[in-house]
Structures are given as C-alpha cells and as structure tokens.
Amino acid sequence: MKAVRTIAELREEIRSLKAAKDVGTVGLVPTMGYLHEGHASLIRAAKEKTGVVVVSIFVNPIQFGPGEDFETYPRDEQRDLAAAENAGADLVFLPTVDTMYPQPTKTKIAVSEVTSGLCGASRPGHFDGVTTVVGKLFNIVQPDYAFFGMKDAQQVAVIQQMVYDLNFNVTIVPCPIVREEDGLALSSRNVYLSPEERTQALVLSRSLREAKEAVESGRIRTAGEAKRFLTTRISESPLAVIDYVEVAAFPALAPLADGEPVIEHNESVLMALAVKFGRTRLIDNCLLHSKGE
C-alpha cells in the first residue's frame, strides 16, 4: 500500500496500478479518516469488487457549518494508514486543505429536494459541501465504483442523485451499517461521548430495532405512529436531545404524511433520526424495504 498526498501523484499511481493489474477497475472509498470497522467494511467491499482500491482521507472543511466540529474532528493518520492497509487498500490519498482548495472554491455542486429534509434541514449547506468534494474526488480518482455506508443514508441518496443527474461514470455501492455488539452504530464521533452518554446513546439503535419489529408485527402501521413511537422511546433517555425523527420514502426522501402506511408503501421507507447527547450529534436509521424489493 502507498500513501500519496498530491493529485498528480495519485493519478500517476492509479494509472500504473491499473496498467499492472488484470482487473483494471478502480474502487473509491471516500472518508474523513479516524477509520473504524465501518470504514474497513467499505474497503473490504471495494477489495472484493475492484482491482485498485483507493481510500481518501480528508476532513472536508466546506461540509461543516459554523460552530460545528471541523477543528476538533478526530484525526489519527498513523492508525488510519494501518487500518486501510489491513482492510486491503492499494492507495491512500491524504490531501491537505490547500491541495483540495488551493483557492476558496467558486464552484459548488448542489442537489435540491433530496437534501431538503433530515440532516439537510439541520445542517444548511452541509450536502453542498459533500457533493462538491465527492464530485472533486470522482474527477481526481475516476473510479468505476464508489462505496458509502448506509449510516449516512441521506448522503447515499444525495450522491446517487448527483451521479444520475451529472452522468458520472461511476456505480455507487451502498454498504450496510456496522454496529458495536451492543447496537451503537459505528461513528468517528463516538469518541466524543462520555461513558454515561455512550450508555444512553444505545436508545437510538434499540428504539429503531423495536420500531422495525412493531412495523413487521403490525403494531405500527403509519408514519405518524412510527415517529411517535421513536420520539417517545428516545425521550425516555434523559440526556437525549432530539434533532429530528423522520419517516421518508427512500431514496427520494420525501417525508411520509402522518397517515401514510409504512409497510405497504411501494417505495422503501427510511426511519431516520439525529439526536444530541451533550455536544455530540449522532445519527442512525433503519430501512424498511418495499414488498416489491
């Protein structure tokens, strides 16, 4: 495995690896670093599907809002390089902010509608920052496949919309959420949690699991019932401050009306939530597949 820091170097390394390998397809796993088992699962999925696996590690300033945690976002380059190599990466791209933005960008890629609810509503401008940097990475790496975790389900939907609308020649591969044994969805931000917050944060995965069971057994039938169930359950944890609890069609992410059924719906339905514990904002979700799928 090789670590490279400039765009020219990366393009050259990809070119020579593609030429050397039998399977010349390129897989990209874009990350913000501080890699955990969720990222490792993406890298392994890329390794399985493509000949050249590129992992990018870049904490992208333009997707953070004022007052968010850009400066304090956890970073550990040495551990990340070992984790990427272990999981099967061929190349790790570690650009500086200056390499990615030698001048403040005047160009933005913006997706509408899919970005209007959920995290898009709580974090204005966030997804413009995400689509812009992912578009840049697609142009730099020119991957055949790109791998994203379903914990950021809205991000998957937004990136897929961008790829579809702008004809990027890349296939997006969404990968399942990876959880701790006790259910907490893996996130680089979990390190922010105090032991007490960490314990109470289990309410997120637990309430989503219970909601899913209640939907499947017929005790919950409508979007409104699901939202009220989740809101009540989460509010039982005294440290939990709900940002949003939403039930929306996936991948269009139009919110379901309160009376709409969640299970006979002809699209997949996403139950998604964002909840703060102290200064740490966590997200989690559960996808209910439509009967046709």
Annotated ligand binding at 129? The verdict is no
The yes or no reply on residue 162 touching its own copies (CB under 8 A) is: yes
Q: Using the minimum distance from each CB to its own copies, give the nearer residue, 128 or 284.
A: 128
Of 158 and 287, the one with the shorter C-beta distance to its own copies is 158
Contact pick of 167, 195, 238, 293 for its own copies (by CB under 8 A): 167
Using the minimum distance from each CB to its own copies, give the nearer residue, 113 or 182: 113
DSSP annotation of 257: P
Q: Where are the alpha helices (DSSP H) in 4-36?
A: 7-20
Q: Does 36 bind its own copies (CB under 8 A)?
A: no
- Partnered with residue 240 across adjacent β-strands are 277
Nearer to its own copies, 4 or 275 (CB): 4
Among 30, 33, 135, 149, the residue binding its own copies under the rule CB under 8 A is 135
Residue 113 CB, nearest distance to its own copies (Å)? 5
- 8 A C-beta contact, residue 252 and residue 118: no
CA 118 → CA 208, 221, 268, distances in Å? 16, 21, 16
Q: Verify binding: residue 212, its own copies, rule CB under 8 A.
A: no
The Cα 83–Cα 89 span in angstroms is 9
Query: What is the closest distance, in whole angstroms, from the C-beta atom of residue 212 to its own copies in the complex?
Result: 29
Task: Single out the segment in contact with its own copies by CB under 8 A; choices: 21-29, 80-88, 162-170, 243-251.
Answer: 162-170
- Give yes or no for residue 32 binding its own copies (CB under 8 A): no
> What's the token pair of residue 226?
């699901």
Measure CA of the first residue to CA of the last residue in the chain; give whole Å.
Answer: 38
Residue type at 268?
S
Sketch the per residue contact string, 84 through 123, with its own copies: x for CB under 8 A, - otherwise.
-------------------x-xxxxxxxxxx---------
- Angstrom CA distances, 37 to 155, 181, 188, 191, 214, stand at 19, 12, 10, 14, 29
By beta-carbon proximity to its own copies, the closer residue of 112 and 217 is: 112
For residue 145, the Cα-to-chain-centroid distance in whole angstroms is 16
268: contact with its own copies by CB under 8 A: no
Does 78 interact with its own copies (rule: CB under 8 A)?
Answer: no
Q: What is the DSSP letter of 267?
A: S
160 near its own copies, rule: CB under 8 A: no
Q: Is the peptide bond before 102 cis (omega within 30 degrees of 0)?
A: no
**Separation of CA 280 from chain center:** 17
What is the footprint of its own copies within residues 226-255 (CB under 8 A)?
none
Q: How many residues does the chain have?
A: 293
Minimum CB separation of residue 108 from its own copies in Å reads: 5
Task: Confirm if 29 and 174 have CB atoms less than 8 A apart.
Answer: no
Buried b (16+ CB within 10 A) or exposed e, 139-162: ebbbbbbbbbbbbbbbbbbbbbbb
Binding-site residue set for (R)-pantoate: 63, 155
Catalytic residue numbers, as ranges:
39
Residues that bind its own copies (CB under 8 A): 7, 11, 103, 105-114, 131-132, 135-136, 139-140, 142, 161-162, 164-169
Binding-site residue set for beta-alanine: 63
